[in-house]
A and B are shown apart, each in its own frame.
Chain A
């Protein structure tokens, strides 16, 4: 075959693909070559030179991580010459390295220790000539948030620089020339680190130079047990290890063999302290005062029994495990005998999954995005909503250079810096935009249709999209949560149907188990396994149903109503209906609910979350807390009904673990273009922040240090007109007023401001109205 070659490594012959590097071939065949700067997460850098090998016939050792194999190449991985070469490199690193392993956090898992051991270094010839007094004083960045950098420990392998650039696509780090004559890792602009605080640099640094301030001096690596579990902050389902000692989670790590390739975002890596936050609910409450579990369970059952089945509804917050959801569903359908169940998934992916077009593939492995030559990112800021999709997009476009990127949103976002065909529309114009795009593409693809819109679609976008062989649809949660989100879903469905089986769908969700909420049939319009079902009860109607006295008792499972409704609407619900509330964290719902029962958080529960890929990810118990899992609470309440939950049923549902989604949409539908009616000149949008996922996420250190308070983003010109400066507090007036800090951002389009969701003691829906993410904004400069 033309594309395979034969090479000899240490005298033995191996087959290799033509474009493979020496390191890849060696690793595949179990031959060890040390490599410090290379990582599968971002490819070769060529900085550390430790991976050098001897190639017969070549004078100088060559870098195996970068050098491609050639037919007949003879490679020696540990000849005397290379060992000598490697030793000289390590001497250089060691020359000024402080004698500090005894206190260094990295000790025991340090790449520098390992290579010193491996080469059996016992003394350093360079040290003799180095005058100890000449040791340059290097910077220790005490002032950075969350991340700590000590340049004295750095070996300048540039892994941190590279991961920030090639994986996170943020690119804030660089090797910068310093006064003492050498170079150090620092921010490009020399200001204190202000970035995504994802700690990817910490995770990849081979030494203790980049470390986590939150973990500093807490424990040695070998003292902790690693519990593999699934992140609780978004539906990416990143696999991570909780590092536990003495019943405390001390840090979070991830391994290269995970589907997320050890990548984690700020929430996943640093926000672990939520699981022991002081805002955990510690004891059950009945009518606002502390109670015990037996009383609370009895009371909950009494409340439910005192109402007719049709007067009771349940809402899942889409953060609980599939097991919890199934238990709730069984209890409601078989004991209470009502189908009034909905979940937060119905605010976004629920809409899209009930109009799934024929042919498209709805659940895809994120890494399979690599098969797509075009990525179409629509309706949300991927990096904020689902970082894992952001990393994969970056990998496709920047690293592998496999895909073209088309973005469609109302502003520029980070992924546009990858080089994109950028389509822009005004917030609220999603349907109009999709119809226009559909019209233009239908033309290009010779499909006859009368659907069209008024927005001009640039030629190059039409060309790229219409020529796609495989296209990844990245659908933003934000667009689906528009007041006309169902129409957006339908317009999107039209567009996907146009591409048919070329489409791989990735619909983002900030709720870690929203896909599970569809699978277990606790979402309006979905039955078990995600089969479609008649719509009976929607949480959108809840305020009205309660007002009219149709719903009198509500069972909330991790569903804090203050995170989807305005305070006013939520208060009304609590006033008129009897609410039973199961959750782990304090919230306003706890204050007003009739019965509150604390349940286990993700680190103390056991079960499964279903992620965007439809993968059933295990959630494992890492710490003991004296609370029940939600499913056990449900089982005990059901017990008061004399109903025994068929546990085998839950097991069967879990064993199946594949969705039976109905994809019956097979013809284009006409969708009303009508958007949102803004009054006044400023359009307000409620957006997701990359540092928050649910109000409870503000209870963790990682997120709250990275972003202390909500900010209003505004275009410089608008700010100037209104006399607002960066950092000023402004009162945002919509339905009611909120006070937030202004941040001037030149990527914001003129006439648009945005405020984020989910900060403690702040409810963005007070401005925009329940379950609405658009509002006509009035800004007043605050004091």
Chain B
């Protein structure tokens, strides 16, 4: 039995935090063994939001599964779409054929998604620790981004916009202008957040030297994303296993060595700035052109062609009903998501549906390092550590 559940002497007390608790950011049941206010041991219990998404995938065509990925980390649905779609494209061997415009749009969406996700992190993290104003500020900017998503695809939370072969439709008129406006404005906003928190004494007390994890442990636990970069691990898939047009863009990977909640805070704050830089470059570089590959084997053909051409019509039915036949084999693709590496492993037997689909959910893996981080600390540290790990249960429990 896990040590966290065994009381060794009369000073020790076992306490349940969650599953319904405002600071657990979703349905996390966190069991802590306390000696006074000190945490002796702890154990996160996950799975309350399990929907069997991986199993569901086995009963769906590849296209049908796309909207399900929205429901993983629902704060970064664009990024989830992207990771899944890129995995399928790798399986189909069409990664190189994705039109450039589509690639730029994908990067724009991914970076906007990153900023939006980080803004929610910042808002709730600060709120948990008692700073209300930050919450209002960052939701104000997030709203701006969500409006842009809505322009592009009609939805405000679950987008299903990035599709196998490209993106669902081209950017609407006015989108670029709003994006320009946003990028101009956003540097100033980040400064505001810094003014509120970075040198705030309460903030420092609650985050500095709290929830420490060493570089070595971070690697061994397999945690990823901003959480490792706060422990001095210089690793970012956008740069180190590049995909899309990232190699053509200039950006830095913020890394801090302290390994505490504050370091992870700084990483994300800096990342927002870097994402904004990427967005600025995209605005400059984005070319005109198609946003979807022309490969009737795998993607929907335009409606007019389906209605006029027998072959498009026939194939359309096959694709819709049975799914396109992916080549047999297995692939893994991981993308740098706001929470860390989101990976999709697909095993195909050549049918229209995946034989097995496995999701490497960064939230799940990041939570696993939590007992290590809080051990020996105070019970109140749990709240800052939860905030700094930034997990979402749609993804963790799948």
Q: Give chain A's interface residues, CB within 8 Å of chain B.
A: 32, 94, 97, 99, 101-102, 107-110, 112-114, 116-118, 120-124, 221-222
Smallest CB–CB gap between A263 and chain B, Å?
24
Chain A positions within 8 Å of B321 at CB level: 107-109, 221-222
24 interchain pairs, CB-CB under 8 A: A32-B350, A94-B311, A97-B310, A99-B313, A101-B313, A107-B317, A108-B320, A108-B321, A109-B321, A110-B314, A113-B315, A114-B318, A116-B315, A116-B318, A117-B325, A120-B296, A120-B297, A120-B315, A122-B309, A122-B311, A123-B309, A123-B311, A124-B310, A221-B321
The answer to whether the Cβ of B33 comes within 8 Å of any Cβ in the partner chain is: no
Chain A positions within 8 Å of B316 at CB level: 101
Q: Give chain B's interface residues, CB within 8 Å of chain A.
A: 296-297, 308-322, 324-325, 350
A-B pairs, 7 with minimum CB distance: A108-B321, A117-B318, A113-B314, A116-B314, A117-B315, A121-B311, A222-B321
Smallest CB–CB gap between B118 and chain A, Å?
41
Pairwise interchain contact A113-B296, C-beta atoms closer than 8 A: no
Measured CA separation A97–B308 after assembly (Å): 13
Given contacts A101-B317, A116-B311, A222-B321, 12 further A-B contacts (CB under 8 A): A32-B350, A94-B310, A97-B310, A99-B308, A101-B314, A110-B317, A113-B317, A113-B318, A114-B318, A117-B297, A120-B297, A123-B311
Chain B positions within 8 Å of A102 at CB level: 313
Chain A positions within 8 Å of B297 at CB level: 117, 120
- Chain A: which residue is nearest B312 at the CB level? A122
Chain B positions within 8 Å of A110 at CB level: 314, 317
Smallest CB–CB gap between B99 and chain A, Å?
19
Measured CA separation A97–B322 after assembly (Å): 22
Pairwise interchain contact B310-A99, C-beta atoms closer than 8 A: yes
Chain A positions within 8 Å of B309 at CB level: 122-123
- Chain B: which residue is nearest A120 at the CB level? B297
Chain A positions within 8 Å of B319 at CB level: 117
Measured CA separation A121–B316 after assembly (Å): 12
- Chain B: which residue is nearest A121 at the CB level? B311
- Chain B: which residue is nearest A98 at the CB level? B310
Smallest CB–CB gap between B31 and chain A, Å?
41
Measured CA separation A108–B313 after assembly (Å): 11
Measured CA separation A114–B313 after assembly (Å): 11
- Chain B: which residue is nearest A117 at the CB level? B318
Smallest CB–CB gap between A124 and chain B, Å?
7
Measured CA separation A238–B310 after assembly (Å): 38
Chain B positions within 8 Å of A123 at CB level: 309, 311
Chain A positions within 8 Å of B311 at CB level: 94, 116, 121-124
Q: Which of B308, B310, B314, B350 is the one whose CB lies under 8 Å from A117? A: B314
Measured CA separation A439–B325 after assembly (Å): 65
Chain A positions within 8 Å of B324 at CB level: 117
Chain A positions within 8 Å of B320 at CB level: 108
Chain B positions within 8 Å of A118 at CB level: 325
Chain A positions within 8 Å of B314 at CB level: 101, 110, 112-113, 116-117
Chain B positions within 8 Å of A124 at CB level: 310-311
Smallest CB–CB gap between B314 and chain A, Å?
4
- Chain A: which residue is nearest B298 at the CB level? A120
Chain B positions within 8 Å of A113 at CB level: 314-315, 317-318
Interface centre among B297, B314, B322, B350, by most chain A C-beta atoms within 10 angstroms, is B314
Interface centre among B316, B317, B325, by most chain A C-beta atoms within 10 angstroms, is B317
- Chain B: which residue is nearest A90 at the CB level? B311
Measured CA separation A109–B296 after assembly (Å): 19
Pairwise interchain contact B313-A122, C-beta atoms closer than 8 A: no
Measured CA separation A113–B315 after assembly (Å): 6
Measured CA separation A99–B324 after assembly (Å): 21
Chain B positions within 8 Å of A120 at CB level: 296-297, 315
Smallest CB–CB gap between B369 and chain A, Å?
43
